[in-house]
């Protein structure tokens, strides 16, 4: 499907300001289609005057369509449809007395010239499927009357309104609630939905005859209303913009479109949408998010307190291996704290694990107390991980890095190139639903006769349990190119 931009550039002489005007018009023409119960087609004049190109199309949500096929991008030569020629050349609204018959459907066609800065830049054909038309109700008459005002404004160059665009997802539509005001801001007519919205705000009787801005001021507590200027401009129908009003439980978006078919403001069209449910869910999500982050922050603080207590105890202990065990515990608790700290800044329940891996690498080197300078480098990326796999993986990485530093480079004094720096490489790759992690050092290598299954030491036992049970992965350890290579292959949900 070609865009308006592309069609304009390919076939017409319209300039950028014209296109911007048409885009603003089309941002709001759902309103016109709905009020008219009709399909709209925007016709762009061909550069050589040969005819018109369909630059846009909008179906009504309030009634049956009259256009069963999409017409966007199609061409009608001059002389084929007299009404299009007339509206474009004479610059006035053209209406046909008799309906056109299309595939057994009677369709009434009207053509509205679109004027900008005194010039007709395009036309809009309004096609009404007459099979959908019954004896009009009060609601239908009010819709049609307002549609007429809007078409006159388009023809006179007063619509689209200047200023902000309101075509965002929350913006009210005709079906959400329709209120028609007179020039003094009094309600002339309200659709049943418009009335229910105000009933939910606390209105007892009818809306008709009330000055809407006064009523709103009465029903809405000051802290739920916009500033006085906005309130009277929007709810008085003087300004074309949107605002939110409500109570503790109810939130309404009100959009105002001042109507001035003949130049002077004759009243306004107000669209009202009850967004209480949306706003309540927004609020809930925000508080849930904030709570989760706050909890991670507190868990981190508690873990740091635990680490501090253990460190204190390690300092007081004289037995060397008890001291070492306590210090290891401090480190393990510290690595979990890093995960919670990262989660306390995360917007979602996933963490950027690269950041955690880099911090763990730095921490392990920092506390190792090994003479040889060791550098931990990361290659590739872990990406975002769910928080419940981040904690076990952080512990695994800590143990493995710790081993590399501690056992790989502890004893470099006797090494012929003992002054050489140590290097530990952490490689992370995501391969179709799996995370592949390799930690390789260029240190001393595993001791002779090393057997993973026979090892009863705590570090590697923790690693194996976490990888195999907690993370559902596969763990391997063996000789690397120079030193030791550890690898874990983990499924990602
Ligand atoms: N990267 C490594 N380089 C050399 N030896 C290692 C390495 N990783 C583990 N080892 C060997 O495996 C043993 C078991 O490790 P671990 O279970 O973490 O216990 P600990 O670190 O307390 O000795 C270590 O004592 C060490 O001999
Ligand atoms: Mg260890």
Closest CA relative to residue 466, chosen from 390, 385, 396, 394: 396
Mutation probe of ligand 1 site: the residue of 328, 426, 457 with most atoms within 8 A of C-beta: 457
pLDDT 10s digits, 266-316: 999 999 999 999 988 888 888 888 888 888 899 999 999 999 999 999 999
Q: Is 446 in the pocket of ligand 1 (CB under 6 A)?
A: yes
The mean pLDDT of the chain is 91
Is the pLDDT confidence value at 412 over 80?
A: no
Q: Is 460 in the pocket of ligand 1 (CB under 6 A)?
A: yes
Q: How confident is the model at residue 52 (pLDDT cuts 50, 70, 90)?
A: very high
Is the pLDDT confidence value at 133 over 90?
A: no
Q: What is the pLDDT of residue 347?
A: 74
The 3-state DSSP class for residue 72 equals coil
Q: What is the pLDDT of residue 215?
A: 96
Distance 433 CA to ligand 1 centre (A): 30
- Specify the pTM: 0.63
pLDDT 10s digits, 465-489: 999 999 999 999 999 998 999 999 9
Least confident range of 65-74, 126-135, 230-239, 352-361: 126-135
Q: Which residue has the higher pLDDT, 11 or 416?
A: 11
Q: Is 328 in the pocket of ligand 1 (CB under 6 A)?
A: no
Distance 175 CA to ligand 1 centre (A): 70
Q: Is 407 in the pocket of ligand 1 (CB under 6 A)?
A: yes
Of the listed ligands, the closest to the CA of 407 is 1
For residue 421, give every residue at least 6 positions away whose Cβ sits within 8 Å of its Cβ, in sequence order, or none: 372, 373, 374, 375
Q: What is the pLDDT of residue 2?
A: 83
Query: From the centroid of its chain, how far is CA 195?
Result: 31
Helices 320-345 and 387-408 cross at an angle (nearest 10°) of 140
- Terminal C-alpha separation, the chain: 37
pLDDT 10s digits, 159-172: 998 876 666 778 89
Q: Is 457 in the pocket of ligand 1 (CB under 6 A)?
A: yes
Distance 399 CA to ligand 1 centre (A): 9
Q: How confident is the model at residue 371 (pLDDT cuts 50, 70, 90)?
A: confident
Of the listed ligands, the closest to the CA of 463 is 1
Q: What is the pLDDT of residue 102?
A: 86
């Amino acid at each position: 499907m070609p865009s308006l931009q592309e069609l304009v550039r390919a076939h017409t002489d319209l300039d950028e300001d014209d296109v911007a005007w048409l885009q603003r018009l089309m941002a709001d023409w759902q309103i016109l289609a709905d009020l008219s119960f009709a399909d709209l087609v925007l016709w762009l004049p061909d550069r050589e005057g040969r005819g018109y190109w369909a630059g846009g199309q909008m179906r009504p949500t309030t009634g049956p369509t009259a256009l069963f096929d999409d017409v966007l991008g199609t061409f009608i030569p001059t002389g084929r449809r007299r009404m299009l020629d007339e509206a474009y050349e004479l610059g006035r609204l053209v209406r046909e007395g008799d309906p056109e018959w299309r595939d057994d459907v009677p369709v009434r066609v009207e053509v509205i010239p679109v004027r900008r800065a005194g010039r007709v830049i395009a036309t809009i054909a309004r096609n009404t499927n007459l099979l959908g038309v019954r004896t009009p109700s009060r609601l239908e008459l009010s819709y049609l009357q307002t549609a007429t005002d809007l078409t006159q404004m388009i023809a006179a160059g007063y619509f689209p309104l200047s200023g902000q665009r309101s075509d965002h997802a929350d913006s009210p539509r005709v079906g959400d609630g329709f209120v028609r005001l007179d020039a003094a801001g009094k309600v002339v007519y309200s659709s049943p939905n418009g009335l229910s919205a105000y009933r939910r705000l606390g209105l007892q009787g009818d809306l008709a005859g009330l000055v809407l801005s006064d009523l709103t001021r009465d029903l809405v507590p000051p802290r739920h209303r916009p500033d006085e200027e906005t309130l009277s401009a929007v709810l008085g129908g003087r300004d074309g913009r949107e605002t939110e009003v409500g109570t503790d439980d109810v939130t309404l978006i009100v959009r105002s479109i001042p109507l001035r078919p003949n130049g002077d403001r004759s009243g306004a069209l107000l669209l009202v949408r009850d967004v209480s449910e949306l706003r309540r869910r927004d609020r809930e999500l925000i508080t849930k998010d904030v709570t989760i982050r706050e909890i991670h922050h507190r868990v981190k603080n508690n873990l740091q307190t635990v680490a501090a207590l253990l460190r204190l105890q390690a300092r007081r202990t004289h037995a060397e291996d008890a001291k070492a065990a306590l210090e290891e515990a401090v480190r393990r608790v510290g690595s979990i704290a890093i995960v919670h700290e990262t989660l306390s800044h995360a917007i979602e329940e996933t963490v950027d694990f690269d950041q955690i891996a880099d911090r763990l690498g730095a921490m392990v080197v920092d506390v190792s107390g090994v003479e040889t300078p060791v550098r931990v480098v990361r290659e590739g990326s872990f990406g975002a991980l769910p928080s419940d796999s981040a904690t076990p993986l952080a512990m695994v990485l800590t143990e493995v890095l710790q081993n590399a530093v501690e056992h790989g480079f502890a004893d470099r004094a006797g090494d012929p190139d003992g002054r050489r720096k140590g290097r530990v490489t952490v490689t992370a790759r995501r391969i179709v639903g799996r995370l592949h992690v390799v930690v390789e050092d260029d240190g001393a290598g595993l001791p002779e006769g090393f057997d993973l299954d026979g090892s009863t030491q705590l570090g590697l036992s923790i690693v194996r349990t976490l990888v195999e049970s907690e993370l559902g992965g596969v763990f391997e350890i063996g000789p690397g190119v120079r030193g030791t290579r550890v690898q874990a292959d983990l499924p990602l949900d």
